[in-house]
Structure 1
Amino acid sequence: MARSSSDVDPDLLAISEEQARLEATIAATMAEPDRLKRQFEESNATLPPTDDFLERQRQKDFEERATRGKVRNEHKSQRRSLMLLILLVIASACLVAWGIKLMGH
């Protein structure tokens, strides 16, 4: 009895599917060593944080606060200097006006 081309044996179809599944598993298994090697190399290339990381972070935070404090102090000093300069100019103007007033008499 001859079979037509559309009449496929179910056992043969199951074997073909199993073979395809096994070939995919074999291909994935063959690629696994390369994947593990790349993963190992990447983990070795990545440096872990140093032991003094927290100390350096604390030092950086302190320096930023100190710098902000220095800037505040500098602004305060400049305002004080500006006020003294204005008082000096006013005092000089008063002395000049007093001198002119004395000369006029």
Structure 2
Amino acid sequence: MKNKGLEEEKYLQCPIEFTMDKIVGKRKLVILWHIYDKKVIRYGELKNSVYKISHKMLSDHLKELVNDGIISKKIYPEIPPKVEYSLTKFGETLIPIMDILCKWGIDNQK
């Protein structure tokens, strides 16, 4: 049991492990890109913007991103419910990384 604690401690000390834990998921970076692009985006618009994403995957990724403090979720008390997502200040620190990934994609997409 003691070794498991040491493994977890090593994991928590690795900045790449920490970063990957927060942003890697089948579509997390794409979701973040669309939120960043729109500044504020509703769930339905986000669902339509992310290519081939299921409701479950989008919902799960959004919950993880909210729990990690990367995005915020605002629910309006109306019927039908209106839900909006935006980057938090913490999430905005990922913008330079996303910009670099976008530039790489533009430069290498043929």
Do both proteins adopt the same fold according to a TM-score greater than 0.5, normalized to the shorter chain? no
Point out the structure with the larger strand share.
2
Q: TM-score, normalised by structure 2?
A: 0.20
Point out the structure with the larger helix share.
1
| Bigger Cα Rg | 1
Q: TM-score, normalised by structure 1?
A: 0.21
